[in-house]
């Protein structure tokens, strides 16, 4: 976002942050034919209908096949779908918002990250003081993942006005060896990572290192919303670059780098380090699809999805849900 803090998160319109199911029946050869032939050919979002006005969506598929989507705003806004096309809204994640949020000058939460580990759903999220990097990452757990079922576990990590980082936009990654890592960050000195204790979901006491994984040391500091996956032996770091939350004036875009170690260094396709302004484009503005970002990655029955928001140039810049599949055949994610 165009800010020295997460300021514009509090002025979104509104503050709630795919392919269609038909793709489930499309032959693999046809799907591959849909992949753009050049990196500059960005696809339109897959068809979604219903309650699709969101910011910073995170989505998971439960054991019954139902999709649970949470997003920025309120007590973390909720959408659900049975087919990944038609979405309906429900109650917020939190029936009663945790009282500690008020320490950060807010009654709303941002940028949730949902996952399922150890027999329960976990959701990391952020709260922050308007116009400041006085921020905190919180954690909640649920046996069902449904609104009203979440128990809040309090703060995981914080930043203050004297910090050179911003503790928002969390993403949990669990490695093959069972180690847990949390990436986060927005602007300032960029994206960070800490190691997490699986027993508590909070920072591992035996490793208090805060790793730097992406930054823009020259020019704009605009990088945020990290999301990490491991594919084909590499760790891939997705991040949102440039200005969010300005409607059709948004310049948000999604970029990626990869590393052989979870803590980096991450390099883009041209070999430029993500700690030195690097990043290979995955999604950018095109046509009426403005400022795609706030992304998360979800592995579904038909492949990996990139789930994000964008601003609809045909609808006065309204923020909407975008879902596309990713193809990894080149060693780099290509949206289609």
Domain at 7-335, CATH homologous superfamily: Glycosyl hydrolase domain; family 43 (2.115.10.20)
Instruction: Give the three-class secondary structure for 114.
Output: strand
Token duo for residue 297: 């990655």
Buried b (16+ CB within 10 A) or exposed e, 287-307: eebbbbbbbbbbebebbbbbb
pLDDT in tens, 10-30: 333 332 332 233 333 333 333
The mean pLDDT of 28-45, rounded to a whole number, is: 55
Active-site residue list? 56, 224
- Higher model confidence: residue 25 or residue 46? 46
pLDDT in tens, 265-289: 999 999 999 999 999 999 999 999 9
- Res 241 pLDDT > 90: yes
pLDDT tens digit sequence for 56-92:
999 999 999 999 999 999 999 999 999 999 999 999 9
Q: What is the mean pLDDT of the chain?
A: 90
Residue owning tokens 């976002």: 1
**Beta strands per DSSP E along 187-317:** 191-197, 202-203, 211-214, 223-231, 234-241, 253-259, 280-283, 289-300, 303-312
Q: In terms of C-beta density within 10 A (0-12 exposed, 13-18 middle, 19 or more buried), how is residue 210 classed?
A: middle
Q: Residue 266: which of 277, 256, 254, 258 has the closest Cα?
A: 258
Instruction: Note the pLDDT tens digit of each residue in 92-122.
Output: 999 999 999 999 999 999 999 999 999 999 9
Q: What is the pLDDT of residues 321-334, one digit of tens each?
A: 999 999 999 999 99
3-state SS string for 118-153: CCEEEEEEEEECCCCCCEEEEEEEECCCCCCCCEEE
Q: Are 178 and 148 in contact (CB under 8 A)?
A: no
Neighbours of 89 (CB within 10 A): 17
Kindly report which listed range (34-43, 190-199, 247-256, 265-274) carries the lowest average pLDDT score.
34-43
Among the residue ranges 4-13, 31-40, 193-202, the one predicted with the least confidence is: 4-13
Rounded distance between C-alpha atoms, residue 191 and residue 167, angstroms? 9
146 vs 25, residue with greater confidence: 146
Handedness of CA 70, 316, 324, 284 (dihedral sign): negative
The Cα 117–Cα 330 span in angstroms is: 30
Number of alpha carbons in the 13 Å side-chain half-sphere of residue 153:
18
CA 54 – CA 15 distance, rounded (Å): 8
The reported pLDDT for the residue numbered 322 is 98
Asked whether residue 4 carries a pLDDT value surpassing 60, the answer given is no
pLDDT score for 68: 98
181-192 average pLDDT score: 97
CA distance 73 to 56: 9
Phi, psi of 311 (to 5 degrees): -110, 125
- What is the pLDDT at residue 129? 86
- The mean per-residue pLDDT over the stretch 180-201 comes to 98
DSSP string, 281-317: EEE--BTTEEEEEEEEEEEETTEEEEEEEEEETTTTT
Letter string b/e over residues 58-81, b meaning 16 or more CB atoms within 10 A of that residue's CB: bbbbeeeeebbbbbbbbbbbbbbb
Per-residue pLDDT at 257: 98
């Amino acid at each position: 976002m165009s800010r020295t803090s997460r300021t514009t998160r509090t002025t979104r319109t509104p503050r709630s942050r795919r392919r269609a199911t038909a793709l489930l029946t499309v032959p693999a050869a046809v799907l591959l034919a849909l992949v753009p032939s050049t990196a500059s050919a960005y696809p339109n979002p897959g068809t979604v209908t219903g309650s699709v006005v969101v910011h910073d969506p995170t989505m998971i598929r439960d054991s019954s096949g139902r999709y649970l989507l949470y997003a920025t705003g309120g007590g973390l806004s909720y959408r659900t779908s049975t087919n990944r096309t038609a979405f309906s809204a429900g109650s917020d994640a939190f029936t009663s918002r945790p009282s500690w949020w008020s320490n950060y000058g807010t009654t709303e939460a941002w940028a949730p990250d949902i996952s399922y580990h150890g027999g329960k759903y976990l959701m990391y999220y952020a709260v922050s003081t308007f116009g400041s990097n006085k921020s905190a990452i919180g954690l909640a757990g649920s046996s069902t993942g449904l609104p009203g079922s979440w128990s809040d576990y309090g703060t995981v990590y914080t930043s203050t006005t004297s910090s050179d980082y911003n503790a928002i936009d969390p993403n949990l990654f669990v490695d093959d060896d069972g180690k847990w890592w949390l990436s986060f960050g927005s602007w300032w000195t960029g994206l960070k990572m800490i190691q997490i204790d699986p027993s508590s979901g909070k920072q591992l006491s035996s490793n208090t290192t805060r790793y730097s994984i992406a930054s823009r040391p020259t020019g704009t500091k605009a990088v945020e919303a990290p999301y990490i996956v491991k594919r084909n032996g590499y760790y891939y770091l997705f991040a949102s670059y440039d200005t969010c939350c300005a409607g059709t004036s948004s310049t948000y875009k999604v970029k990626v780098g990869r590393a052989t170690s979870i803590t980096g260094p991450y390099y883009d396709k041209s070999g430029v380090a993500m700690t030195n302004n690097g990043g290979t484009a995955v999604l950018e503005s095109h046509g009426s699809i403005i400022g795609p970002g706030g992304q998360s990655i979800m592995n579904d029955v038909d492949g990996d999805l990139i789930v994000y928001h964008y601003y609809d140039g045909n609808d006065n810049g309204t923020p909407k849900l975008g879902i596309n599949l990713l193809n990894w055949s080149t060693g780099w994610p290509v949206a289609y």
